Amino acid sequence: MAHLPSGHFHANAAWLILWAMAYNLLRAAGALTSAFHAKATLRSHLVQDPARITRSARRVTLHLPRNWRWQKAWTHLFDTVHRPPEPA
């Protein structure tokens, strides 16, 4: 929302749509994570996670801290989103 107001109506509309989509995706992620995260401020819990990304042999690995407070919620969200599709 920092780019508003622009002198162009279509630019304002595009930024507003992008903001709304990001907000709704973050709320959906919070609802998938846990009941607490459905209503909590998610930015400090799930978005700004203290993770490290490494690459080895064409594989990307995400390293989370061992005693991170929100690790269980984050891994539950990751497993829910990346679950294989149900057989038909």
pLDDT tens-digit profile, the chain (88 residues): 565 677 778 888 888 898 899 888 888 887 877 777 666 776 666 667 677 889 999 888 888 888 888 788 888 888 888 877 778 7
What local confidence, expressed as pLDDT, does residue 55 receive? Answer: 92
> Are 30 and 38 within 8 A, CB to CB?
yes
What local confidence, expressed as pLDDT, does residue 21 receive? Answer: 92
Q: Name the phi and psi angles at 51, rounded to 5.
A: -100, 165
pTM (2 decimals)? 0.57
What local confidence, expressed as pLDDT, does residue 3 receive? Answer: 59
